[in-house]
Structure 1
Amino acid sequence: MAASSSDVTLPVAMIETATPLLAWTIVLPVALALMGAASLLLLRRWPRATLPAAVIVVLAILVCEAALLWQVYTGGPVSMTMGKWLPPFGISLTADLFGAGFALAAALVTLVVLIYAETDRDESDRGDNFHAMVLLLLAGVTGAFLTGDLFNLYVWFEVTLIASFGLLVLGGRPVQLDAAVKYGFLNFLATTLFLLSLGLLYGLLGTLNMADIMRVAPQASPAAMTGVAALLLLAFGMKAAAFPLNAWLPASYHVPPVAVSALFASLLTKVGAYALLRTLVAVLPGSRDVLEPVLVLLAILTLVLAPLGAIAETHLRRAIGFLVIGGIGAVLAGIALPNASGVAGAGLYVFHAMLTMAVLYMVAGLIEKRSGSFDTRQMGGFYAASTPLSILFLGAVLATAGVPPFLGFWPKLLLLQAGAEQGVSGSADTWMATALVVALLVNAVLTLIAGTRLWAHIFWRQGNEGASEHDALALLPLDRRGRLGLAMSVALALVVGAAGLWPNPMMAGARDGASDMLNPARYVAATGLAGDEP
């Protein structure tokens, strides 16, 4: 038995009403990804079939998630619970605009990266289960975006952790194993803290259903709930790579194949950022208010220090990793400014970063392939030799910095608007809003400096560091698979560019999604709990 969409408000109606066919779109993305991963393991003896099969599965997921997003956009949040264990006892999948939109972006990035990955794969890599692990990662990420239960969120975190470990060590090089230890230790610590907070939360409230927590949390001890929220902030902040818990990201994201780096930067930290947004803004808003000074401090430090790390870095992908961390500071700023513009800006920034960071890493992989080096000091002269790469990289940098009219400008505009609204409200926390606005502007400038510095070293400089201006460039040509990677990078960059030039649908969706976060009545009603007394 399944409970379905927002027009169902009572458990009795859930039992007696058949599930509409369209409501299954909330389950199918997760089910298809899990079944696809299992099926690809059975195709190990036919390794050439795994990529086409994976692409077909992700295309089907994209269709389901597009239908789900349209359903949520036109009718409000939807929910489904398997079996006759109805909410809050059963585990529900519940989607609002943010969850459905992020799931769609994750599937789009996965599709592009699956094809791009063929740039570096050869016959010796056949049968390594890469495509199965990518689908398993997508299943975990999609489940995390669509779940309506905190324990289920923990389960999906574990699924993503298993898949990411497999992808991180794929190849077995010593440097990968070293990165896996650093990545694994802090992520295991984060999941342990998350599990601890779930135990405390269940002991306090007797439920882990997000909609049910929204109803009963105001009756619990404020001090105890703030302690739980602080634990969640620590756990999710670690997974999102917020300062000062971010050292694992630049120490690990640069070692796997570049396609894996692109997936990690687009999906893994964004799941942590989404979890922070969901739990602190929608589920435990009262505790968020108490933690606001801490959130402001973390946001400012992350916004300012991360691009400084990128400026000091000479390893291309490590530098981009610091830019990924800086984006998490923008999401934290939106959580620290919990008005409609702030939450909309945080949500839209997550969507933008999922697409833009994938482009940035994919272009970085092509640069490394042509130069034969990871060190920007050993690069140079790409502008004349490869104009498309130059344009792609510069466009991704400008989008990351938030330069208009690129995609990154619009979420930062919403965040600045949120700070201005908070600053003129006359409230006691005006100074915090002002500090966040300054930090956002400083982050934009520093990110632009870091990105254009990389661009100048790689593209504008005539040759390697210390080389004579008359020395010939020794760039490797792109083969057929390299041109395929370039085509995939261009395709995703065009999506990012079109979204930046036509931002109205995303801006409207972000504001509607923020409205459901700040006033979750429709979210609670979708689960059938609206009529129950706390």
Structure 2
Amino acid sequence: MNNIVVLLPVLIPFVAGVILIFFKNFSTIQRTISGLAAFILLFSSVFLTYHVYQDGILTLEAGNWSAPFGIIFVADLFAGLMTILSGIVGVACLFFAYKTIHKDREKFYFYPFYFFLLTGVNGAFLTGDIFNLFVFFEVMLISSYILIVMGGTKYQLRESFKYVVINIFASALFLIALAFLYSLTGTLNFAHLAQRIAEAEQTGVFNVVAILLLIVFAMKAALFPLYFWLPNSYYGPPTAIAAIFGGLLTKVGVYAIFRVFTLVFIHNIDFTHSVILFLAGATMFVGILGAVAKFDFRHILSYQIISHVGYMIMGLALFTPYAIAGAIFYIAHDMIVKTSLFLYAGVTQKITGTTDLTKMGGLLRTYPLLGWLFFISAIALAGIPPLSGFFGKFAMIVAGLDQGQYIIVFISLLVGLLTLYSMIRIFIYVFWGEPKIENDKDNPVKIMPLLLPIIPLAALTIAMGVFAEPIFSFSMEIAEQLLDPSQYIESVFKE
């Protein structure tokens, strides 16, 4: 059944980006169009997910070419949820950019490439074949190459070069893996691949392809040991860009790992998911060591991205409904909280002119709302109940204990404690104590316009904790759908 609603989260940002190209010198028009487009995109994602929840998995066949021969888009509950989250992050970062992106940067196609980035992200979530996953990855990455160099500082250009090189290498390896996979199966459609691999007896050779693709997606998601490009790359760009990168880009890699290793490569989970479990533990531990070692606000958050990707992958590796539901809950929590934390870093930098913790202090006296909003997000990231970070983490720990995976459970608990330590350290250095930078208390920096896009994110963090039961029940439905590939396959090939 063809459903144009499936294509809306891809079509809307693409059309908006094209239109915005023609108004690059008109800042007010660009902001008006981009704001409307961002909200329409968010509403269309909610509308799509509602229809998937009511009617089951929806598909759209481009040009009426049926699968596996044509291009197909598939919206299941997982893809729908991810488009909603990308819409939320997109709206928050866009409105923060209105107050922080210099007008000269706006004229260098900031808004068009912002929406092309969202086009690539949502296309990756909704595509029904792995070659078009590659295509949408490239749309996303090309847009990110433009956005990451905005500002043009020497440091930024140097680190951006590393970012570009590692992603070009990952893309080349992706194509090699796709060619190998196509030579073995004769198809690149996700549903068709699942059928062909399930019927094949060449377990060993498919393990090789699975590991190749895992390496590719590990580069995108910043898994150990392929995380080294991320911390400095996310340090240089303007705050709004760093925030959308921190909230979205690595999660596209995580989504790809979930999609491929719950649908396509499930022929030998004792091997593939054991590898993923090791990577999850190593990523959590190495990432948090980096966060603890740093004394720069943005660098700490960048390493926290790496560390908490490990939690998400841990849920997949345990491969039970409860564990995967916990991971999905945690992905939603992390995208919202990590975006807000990067935006807090931007606000404090606006006030103090630095991100160095040793040069900051005492902001709670003059900016109490900022301080306590940050505190809520910080302890949510650490997994303190009753906020959002606790429930997904708790589910994965319980699932790990049920399976006797005591090492990964110990690592996850240790990383949780170190996360709490690193976030409280930020709070103490930035907001507690005596001010280290002179601020006129009678004329403080006006930060309320900067906080307006962040307050809804903090509210969502609290709401996910307060209403954890229905949200986790929804996550369980997603997990059960992922663990039953026949639903996906039947939706693609039904008459």
Using structure 2 for the length normalisation, give the TM-score: 0.97
| Number of residue equivalences | 494
Change (3 A) 1:373 1:282: same
Q: Are positions 1:301 and 2:282 aligned together?
A: yes
Q: Are positions 1:345 and 2:310 aligned together?
A: no
Query: In the alignment, which residue of structure 1 is the partner of 2:158?
Result: 178
Query: In the alignment, which residue of structure 1 is the partner of 2:427?
Result: 455
Query: In the alignment, which residue of structure 2 is the partner of 1:504?
Result: 469
Give matches, 1:216-235, under 5 Å: 216-220=196-200, 221-235=202-216
**In structure 1, what is the Cα distance between the partners aligned to 2:307 and 2:395?**
17
Give matches, 1:237-252, under 5 Å: 237-252=218-233
**In structure 2, what is the Cα distance between the partners aligned to 1:202 and 1:270?**
26
State which of 250, 270, 275 in structure 2 corresponds to 1:289. Answer: 270
Change (3 A) 1:243 1:478: farther
Q: 1:474: how far off? A: 6.7
Give matches, 1:121-136, under 5 Å: 121-136=101-116
Q: Are positions 1:445 and 2:425 aligned together?
A: no
Q: 1:504: how far off? A: 2.3
**In structure 2, what is the Cα distance between the partners aligned to 1:409 and 1:128?**
41
Q: 1:287: how far off? A: 3.9
Q: 1:178: how far off? A: 0.7
Query: In the alignment, which residue of structure 1 is the partner of 2:451?
Result: 486
**In structure 1, what is the Cα distance between the partners aligned to 2:268 and 2:28?**
52
Q: Is the 8 A contact 2:311 2:412 kept in 1?
A: yes
Q: 1:122: how far off? A: 3.7
Query: In the alignment, which residue of structure 2 is the partner of 1:407?
Result: 388
The DSSP-based 3-state class of the residue aligned with 2:453 is: helix
> Unmatched 5+ residue regions in structure 1?
5-22, 424-432, 465-470
> Unmatched 5+ residue regions in structure 2?
none
Q: Is the 8 A contact 2:31 2:98 kept in 1?
A: no
Q: Is the 8 A contact 1:117 1:259 kept in 2?
A: yes
Query: In the alignment, which residue of structure 1 is the partner of 2:311?
Result: 330
Query: In the alignment, which residue of structure 1 is the partner of 2:481?
Result: 516
**In structure 2, what is the Cα distance between the partners aligned to 1:112 and 1:293?**
37
Q: Is the 8 A contact 1:33 1:61 kept in 2?
A: yes
Q: 1:403: how far off? A: 0.9
Choose between structure 1 and 2 for higher RCO, CA contacts under 8 A separated by at least 6 residues: 1
Q: Which of the pair is proportionally richer in helix?
A: 2
Change (3 A) 1:37 1:513: same
The Cα RMSD (Å) is: 1.6
Amino acid at match of 2:420: L
**In structure 2, what is the Cα distance between the partners aligned to 1:84 and 1:292?**
36
The DSSP-based 3-state class of the residue aligned with 1:80 is: strand
The DSSP-based 3-state class of the residue aligned with 1:255 is: coil
The Cα offsets for residues 46-80 of structure 1, whole Å up to 9 and x where unpaired, read as: 22200110111121111211111111112221111
Using structure 1 for the length normalisation, give the TM-score: 0.90
Query: In the alignment, which residue of structure 2 is the partner of 1:209?
Result: 189
The Cα offsets for residues 387-434 of structure 1, whole Å up to 9 and x where unpaired, read as: 1111111111111111111111111011112112212xxxxxxxxx11
Query: In the alignment, which residue of structure 1 is the partner of 2:20?
Result: 40
Query: In the alignment, which residue of structure 1 is the partner of 2:237?
Result: 256
Q: Are positions 1:168 and 2:148 aligned together?
A: yes
**In structure 1, what is the Cα distance between the partners aligned to 2:363 and 2:452?**
18
State which of 52, 69, 73 in structure 2 corresponds to 1:89. Answer: 69
The DSSP-based 3-state class of the residue aligned with 2:493 is: coil
The DSSP-based 3-state class of the residue aligned with 1:250 is: helix
**In structure 2, what is the Cα distance between the partners aligned to 1:73 and 1:194?**
32
Query: In the alignment, which residue of structure 2 is the partner of 1:72?
Result: 52
**In structure 2, what is the Cα distance between the partners aligned to 1:315 and 1:475?**
25
**In structure 1, what is the Cα distance between the partners aligned to 2:470 and 2:308?**
22
**In structure 2, what is the Cα distance between the partners aligned to 1:472 and 1:349?**
39
Query: In the alignment, which residue of structure 2 is the partner of 1:7?
Result: none
Amino acid at match of 2:470: P
Q: Is the 8 A contact 2:121 2:140 kept in 1?
A: yes
Amino acid at match of 1:307: I
